[in-house]
Structure 1
Amino acid sequence: MRIETSVTRLLGIDLPILLAGMSWVTSNAALPLAVSRAGGLGVIAAGPMYPEALEEAIDTVRRGTDRPFAVNMPLYRKGAEEILDLLEAKRIPVLIASQGGPQKYLDRFKAIGTTCMHVVASEAHAVKAAQKGVDGLIVVGGEAGGHPPAELVSTLVLVRAVAKATQGKIPLVASGGFADGNGLAAALSLGAGAANFGTRFIATPEAGVSEGYKQAVIDAGVADTRTVGRGLGMIRTLSNDFAEEMAALELAAAPEERRRAVFSASTLKMAAFDGDLARGKLEAGQSAGLVGRLMPAGEIVAEIARDYAVCIGDLPQPAE
């Protein structure tokens, strides 16, 4: 199946389905490779990766498919310049940059033919990034796991606002709250050319996180996430002992020093790699409540595409 949109044309992919770059979850070759092979865009999350591991993952994906793939690069990470040098040397097909300005990378990567997409969480940032010359935007709404926008504006509203602000002049990817084909149809109806799927792909054999983390996502309901750490690098996480303690401190207006100590003592690695489901940061989006079972990543891509076709076929048509 092929679904042609502004984003599929930009990226050279068959389906407007992007794997969200998620630290640890997609910091490997297996999951991005499976998504790219299935016709979407697989994304390697460079955030927690050492240069040697990142290079190996890029090479493995390249050996496994001739389809496009991307690397997600948080520009604030330690050793960012070294990683950018590596990505430039590897001449990756697509760069997805977040948490920094396009001026840090744009000219050098466009000069080698890399498609450059930038993650934004507001209309103002979207317009600025578009004016800088990025090739596409990933618009993250409040439902998203990890680091949603501070204002928590829903994807439904934010993507539509960015589409209006950019006047259809740049391809958009909607991110936050998508788990199935109906969500993809909703994203495209807002003016996006694709949807970013993150939490859904945590529940896959290929995801690089602990089995307990995957099961926690499967077991979660739509109301089982919460945002904590406002002013400290706010995250959306599944409820656990860490999240409950943070929420209680915030409700009590505890001193920043106390809140920061608790927030910093917990890490995503604790949950993702060490399997500490009580005290680790179990980052996940509200769409966890739409995830019901573990499935291979390639099958998920195919299911999303099939369900999208059914969804749009079932939509009421205007009466004459």
Structure 2
Amino acid sequence: MRIETSVTRLLGIDLPILQAGMSWASSNAALPLAVSRAGGLGVIAAGPMYPAALAEAIDTLRAGSDKPFAVNMPLYRKGSEEILDLLEQKRVPILIASQGGPDKYLKRFKALGTICLHVVASEAHALSAANKGVDGLIVVGGEAGGHPPEALVSTLVLTRAVVRAMDGRLPVIASGGFADGAGLAAALALGAGAANFGTRFMATPEAGLAQGYKQAVVAAGIADTRTVGRGLGLIRAIANEFTERMTALETANAPEDDRRSLFTASTLKMAALDGDVQRGKLEAGQSAGLVQRIQPAADIVFEIAREYRAIVAALPR
């Protein structure tokens, strides 16, 4: 099955379905390999990975498939220069950079022929990255899990604004709130060339998350996430003991030191690897409310594509 768009042509993939780079969940080879084999774009999340583990995951992906894949690199991470050096040595086909500016990586990777996508959360950021010379943009709206934009502008509005600002200059990928074929159809209708799916791929056997985390995603409703940590590094996470305590401090206008102490004491790793789904940061997007079961990643890719085809066919003409 093929669905051709500006993004599939740029990336050399069959379907405009990207699996988001999610720390721990896709900090492995299994999840991105399954997605890439199915025709989407699998993405390794380099954020929490040691260099040796990242190198091994890249080698495993290359050995397992000749399909394109990407590595997501949060530019703020500790040891970022060492990781960038590794990615340069490995000549990764697609680099997705987030939480930093393109100047840190663009020239060296463009020289290799690496396709460079940059994650943005506003029109201003999009225009700046485009002017620097990136190959495409991933636009993250307020529904997204992990680190949504502080303004929490919805993906529906932000994607359309960036598409209009780009005026065809660069392919755009919409991210935040997508879980199925209807979401993909909506993203393409907004003018994006693909949709980025994060939370949906958490509920897979291949995701590197504790089983309790995956079950929490499946059990969550569309109103069961909270945004906490404004001014400290805003996150969206499924409601639990940590978010309740954090929300209470924020509502009471507690001193920043108190809020920071609680915010930093809880980590994503506690939930993802240790399985502490009450005190850990159970990061997920609002689309968790649309995720109904745990299923193989390849099945999700095929299901999204089939749903998209059926929905488009049923639209009034």
Same fold (TM over 0.5): yes
Give CA-to-partner distance per residue, 1:219-278, whole Å, 9 cap, x none: 000000010000000100000000000001000000000000000000000000000011
Query: What is the CA distance between 1:65 and its match in structure 2?
Result: 0.2
CA distance in 2 between counterparts of 1:105 and 1:253 reads 39
Instruction: Give the structure-2-normalised TM-score.
Output: 1.00
Q: Secondary structure at the match of 1:243?
A: helix
CA distance in 2 between counterparts of 1:10 and 1:122 reads 22
Q: Which residue of 2 aligns with 1:162?
A: 162
Query: What is the CA distance between 1:168 and its match in structure 2?
Result: 1.4
Q: Which amino acid aligns with 1:220?
A: A
Query: What is the CA distance between 1:149 and its match in structure 2?
Result: 0.2
Q: Which residue of 2 aligns with 1:138?
A: 138
Q: Which amino acid aligns with 1:217?
A: V
Q: Which amino acid aligns with 1:66?
A: D
CA distance in 1 between counterparts of 2:132 and 2:275 reads 41
Query: What is the CA distance between 1:80 and its match in structure 2?
Result: 0.2
Q: Which residue of 1 aligns with 2:108?
A: 108
Q: Which amino acid aligns with 1:140?
A: V
Q: When the two structures are aligned, how many residues end up with a matched partner?
A: 317
CA distance in 2 between counterparts of 1:168 and 1:126 reads 13
Give CA-to-partner distance per residue, 1:104-158, whole Å, 9 cap, x none: 0001001011000000000000001001000000000000000000000000000
Q: Which residue of 2 aligns with 1:58?
A: 58
Correspondence list, 1:6-155, <5 A: 6-155=6-155
CA distance in 2 between counterparts of 1:168 and 1:18 reads 20
Instruction: Give the structure-1-normalised TM-score.
Output: 0.99
CA distance in 2 between counterparts of 1:72 and 1:138 reads 11
Q: Which residue of 2 aligns with 1:230?
A: 230
1:288 paired with 2:288, answer yes
Give CA-to-partner distance per residue, 1:279-307, whole Å, 9 cap, x none: 00000000000000010000000000000
Correspondence list, 1:248-267, <5 A: 248-267=248-267
Q: Secondary structure at the match of 1:277?
A: coil
Q: Which residue of 1 aligns with 2:189?
A: 189
CA distance in 2 between counterparts of 1:26 and 1:113 reads 24
CA distance in 2 between counterparts of 1:306 and 1:189 reads 17
5+ residue gaps, structure 1 = none
Give CA-to-partner distance per residue, 1:149-191, whole Å, 9 cap, x none: 0000000000000001111110000000000000000000001
5+ residue gaps, structure 2 = none
Identity %: 77
Query: What is the CA distance between 1:50 and its match in structure 2?
Result: 0.1
Q: Secondary structure at the match of 1:111?
A: helix
Q: Which residue of 2 aligns with 1:201?
A: 201
Q: Which residue of 1 aligns with 2:309?
A: 309
CA distance in 1 between counterparts of 2:169 and 2:115 reads 16
Q: Secondary structure at the match of 1:185?
A: helix
1:278 paired with 2:278, answer yes
Query: What is the CA distance between 1:102 and its match in structure 2?
Result: 0.3
